[in-house]
Structure 1
Amino acid sequence: MSRLRHPLAQVAYAVALTVPWTATRLFNLLVRWDVVRATPVHFGTLTEVAVTGVAVLGASFLLAWGAETAEKDVPRAFAIAVLAILAVAPEYAVDALYAWNAGAGGATTAACPAGPGATERLVEACESANLAVANMTGANRILIGLGWAGIAVFTVRRARQTNDPAVRAREGWLADVVTLDRGIATEVGFLFLATVWAFFVPLGGGIDALDTALLVGLYLTYIVVIIRGDVDAEEEHVGVPQYFQSWSLPWRPLAVLTLFGYSGLMIFTAVEPFAHGLEVLGQDFGIPEFFMIQWIAPLASESPELIVVVVLVNKARSTAGFNALISSKLNQWTLLIGTLSLVFSLAYGGYGVLPFDSKQSAEIWITAAQSFFALAVLVDFEISVREALSIFVLFISQVLLEFAIIQDLAPIPVSSEELLIGYAVAYVVIGAALFWVRRDALKGMLGLAADAGRTAVGRDPVHQEFAD
């Protein structure tokens, strides 16, 4: 094997992409601690976006290799769940910051929205509470509208070179499909429960302890279920994962932990300035700050996850790629929402409910409705190019129309909030129709998810007729 193609050389290339950012951060820390007497290095906005973006790219390759290597020793679903948490950790950090600022500033359901005469601190706190919800809903909708849809189309196109067995050619307009492993029924089942609950969150006027207990409890139950599952039948790997999987104990787990630790650290430190740089560039072009925080910042924070999935699909591992996307959606739709109230209460100095206005209620409803529709698409464990494009068109048309309303670019006779409610209704109606048509598939999916729960507590599965 050529030295340039050796797996360790590939790892070195990925690490090299992170070196400019790592070296800069380390140098500035040494300056701050007076270890080095020099002027800190500060990049211009465009340079910082480039340096941090390249670092995120390198870290995403390392993260993907770590998850694939881990599959030799732990259930694939658990390895992918860890990957998903690390990949979207910056999104948690951004949302936690807004929730903390809201609590520290005294935002409550009674005080918000802040009326005339309110202190500047309270006004900013109420705004931070709304931004926490906006950033969270934007991230979730991006993950489906761009992530699920884009990766499905990419998988079908890439299959021409990879001969991915998960892709099936079918007659009809854009009818080629990506078939998914029925093992994802567990993730889909838990996501279905979280989505149903999300419709009720706005009715309480804020995110409270009940939301935290139920949503975080759902995710912890999911982790228990998948970690008690069996290690999957060994799947053939190539390149870096194959090389590390050949290592003996304890070196193989040490390699996994190193890949996870370093990539997670890089993603956590680089994504925030990457997202902030994009926000600044967007504002320079006249894009409203609120719009940037809801869409551009989450898009940047989701980039590691999307890059990882592209890496997996490029290796004809589309099933693992979709598992990662669904696992990311599940942890964002449970842990991310559930922990906002906890962070808010810690900053508030006591129990509190994270408040949000009616606009953010509509944002939560459309996000839940989009998830409902997307699950209706996946319930039969297939997604066609036509379905993927439908998800994308519904998502991007709403974003563009809302931008036109905010910027008053066209005479659209509805408010932004009314637009969101309209799209939410459309998502629910189409999703309900799909679930009705595919009611047998829904029954099978829920049965397989229930079997995973039974297996986790040592009971025998009872829905094996749906496993094939």
Structure 2
Amino acid sequence: MKRRLLGTIAAAVGLTAPWVAVWVLTVGLPAVGYDPALFAHPPTLATVAVSGVSILGAAFLLAWAAETAEKDVPRAFAIAILAVLAVAPEYAVDALYAWNAGQFAGTERGVEAGNLAVANMTGANRILIGLGWSGIALFTVFRRKANVDPAVINRDGFLRDAVSIDPDISLEIVFLLLATLWAFLVPLNGGIDIFDMLVLVGIYVAYIAIVIRGDVEPEDVHTGVPAALQRLPRPARIASIVLLFAYSAFVIFVAVEPFAHGLEDLGTEAGIPPFFMIQWIAPLASESPELIVVAYLVNKARSTAGFNALISSKLNQWTLLIGTLVVVYSIALGQYGPLAFDSKQSAEIWLTAAQSFFALALLVDFEVTAWEALTLLVLFVSQVLLEFAVIRELVALPIPTEEMLLVYSAVYIVLGLVLFVRRRDEFRLLLERSIGTITSAFGGEERPQQADD
């Protein structure tokens, strides 16, 4: 491997090293008997800065590992693994709240923790679409090298340029739609229960069982670190992939909680309500690795892989993240029990499902225009800012906050239904392509595609 590429890898590892050192001194060594008083934690601002930089370095390592893995496993499976690891910070933060809800069940602290677990989950999912999908689409279309990206469609007219989506992502869209439709039912029982877990986790397991049977696609041309790693002998290549995945996952796991909590503390010092911080600022921090990874892929003119990663991240967050909360809660509780939440969080779940429904309607024709991405972004940002203004008593609404969330939900659903009706032919082709993928994965004869598909 060329010295320059080794230097590139070393630079990314170097970004993670300061926080790993902090973790070893303040957590690792005290855990094996050293006096924790010998190692002082850094100030909050320094903690946020150092842990944030380490997450950035780990995100690059994750992206290189996933690209390298495409030589040996189906691309969809490599991206699914990337998505799981990239959202690991979000799992860690949300599991903490679910665990506290179980440990302190029956108390005010337990009730609050349960609501925070749901709030953190809905905030993370809405950020992924409202900022992630829309922001990456706009970045793809308007960045400096967009004219050389085959995924960018240039059209005349205001905000009519678009980023095309790989039709092979049909399967992910269908499974995500199934999870979204089920999510509308979750609040009806007042909590996340075992049936939600079985359905949502079952959806993801079925998805993985299909994509892992896909064909390896070695024809993609990679550059830089992934290309160099792919030229290694197979044993060395696999070892490097495992090492990159494992190390980056470790760094993200140990850095995300202090990063998120540090941001919460900084926000609290600035007068931002803790609940708002946990729903929005903490998830924004924990979502940062996957957004960095996707921006990296897009900047390499691999917009298709970037969007596939975002969609796969949404799928596992919208299935595994929700479904496993009840497992963590029940373990902490010491027996099975549904993770309960209040009516405000019911409205948050409906709004999150409605946003997902609208976003999927945008993907039915396998492209997202700049106008559609901007609409998605404005709806998301306006709702968050309006709720923040109400919390800080900067504005007074004629309706309660919960009803405001339901109004936004209705807007998303109406827009989504209109798009699904207008694009019903494209949706039919998407379903046929997905059925063909499933049939092919399990040894059947793939259904022929339409000529214009």
* Structure 1 runs (4+) greater than 6 angstroms displaced: none
Quick one: distance in 1 between partners of 2:401 and 2:360?
Answer: 25
Decide which of 237, 240, 246 is 2:222's aligned counterpart.
237
Gaps of 5+ in 1: 108-121
Q: TM-score, normalised by structure 2?
A: 0.97
For the Cα contact (< 8 Å) 2:70–2:218, is it kept in 1?
Answer: no
1:418-445 CA deviation, whole Å, 9 max, x = no partner?
1100000000001000100001111111
For the Cα contact (< 8 Å) 1:447–1:466, is it kept in 2?
Answer: no
1:356 equivalent in alignment to 2:368: no
1:135 equivalent in alignment to 2:120: yes
**AA in 2 matched with 1:451:** G
Quick one: distance in 1 between partners of 2:434 and 2:9?
Answer: 37
- Partner of 1:178: helix, strand, or coil? strand
Aligned CA-pair RMSD: 1.5
Q: TM-score, normalised by structure 1?
A: 0.94
For the Cα contact (< 8 Å) 1:162–1:315, is it kept in 2?
Answer: no
1:306 equivalent in alignment to 2:291: yes
**AA in 1 matched with 2:43:** G
- Partner of 2:163: helix, strand, or coil? strand
Per the alignment, residue 332 of structure 2 pairs with 347
Moved more, 393-402 or 34-43: 34-43
Quick one: distance in 1 between partners of 2:263 and 2:134?
Answer: 23
**AA in 2 matched with 1:304:** P
Per the alignment, residue 381 of structure 1 pairs with 366
Moved more, 158-167 or 28-37: 28-37
Gaps of 5+ in 2: none
Deviation at 1:25, TM superposition (A): 1.4
Moved more, 159-168 or 42-51: 159-168
Moved more, 312-321 or 458-467: 458-467
From the superposition, tell whether residues 16 and 162 of structure 1 become closer, same or farther in structure 2 (CA, over 3 Å): farther
Quick one: distance in 2 between partners of 1:236 and 1:261?
Answer: 25
Per the alignment, residue 232 of structure 2 pairs with 247
Q: Percent identity?
A: 61
Per the alignment, residue 216 of structure 1 pairs with 201
Per the alignment, residue 7 of structure 2 pairs with 9
Per the alignment, residue 85 of structure 1 pairs with 84
Deviation at 1:352, TM superposition (A): 0.8
Deviation at 1:41, TM superposition (A): 3.1
For the Cα contact (< 8 Å) 2:140–2:146, is it kept in 1?
Answer: no
Per the alignment, residue 178 of structure 1 pairs with 163
From the superposition, tell whether residues 99 and 258 of structure 1 become closer, same or farther in structure 2 (CA, over 3 Å): same
Moved more, 228-237 or 245-254: 228-237
Quick one: distance in 1 between partners of 2:133 and 2:83?
Answer: 14
Per the alignment, residue 71 of structure 1 pairs with 70
Quick one: distance in 1 between partners of 2:377 and 2:246?
Answer: 33
From the superposition, tell whether residues 99 and 64 of structure 1 become closer, same or farther in structure 2 (CA, over 3 Å): same
For the Cα contact (< 8 Å) 1:53–1:270, is it kept in 2?
Answer: yes
For the Cα contact (< 8 Å) 1:45–1:277, is it kept in 2?
Answer: yes
Residues 147-158 of structure 1 correspond to what in structure 2 (within 5 A)? Answer: 147-158=132-143
Deviation at 1:31, TM superposition (A): 4.6
Quick one: distance in 2 between partners of 1:336 and 1:377?
Answer: 24
Residues 283-432 of structure 1 correspond to what in structure 2 (within 5 A)? Answer: 283-432=268-417
Quick one: distance in 1 between partners of 2:242 and 2:278?
Answer: 32
Quick one: distance in 1 between partners of 2:232 and 2:218?
Answer: 18
Residues 101-180 of structure 1 correspond to what in structure 2 (within 5 A)? Answer: 101-107=100-106, 122-158=107-143, 160=145, 163-180=148-165
1:40-64 CA deviation, whole Å, 9 max, x = no partner?
0311111111100110011100000
Quick one: distance in 2 between partners of 1:274 and 1:376?
Answer: 34
- Count residues in correspondence: 452
1:273 equivalent in alignment to 2:258: yes
Quick one: distance in 1 between partners of 2:437 and 2:337?
Answer: 36
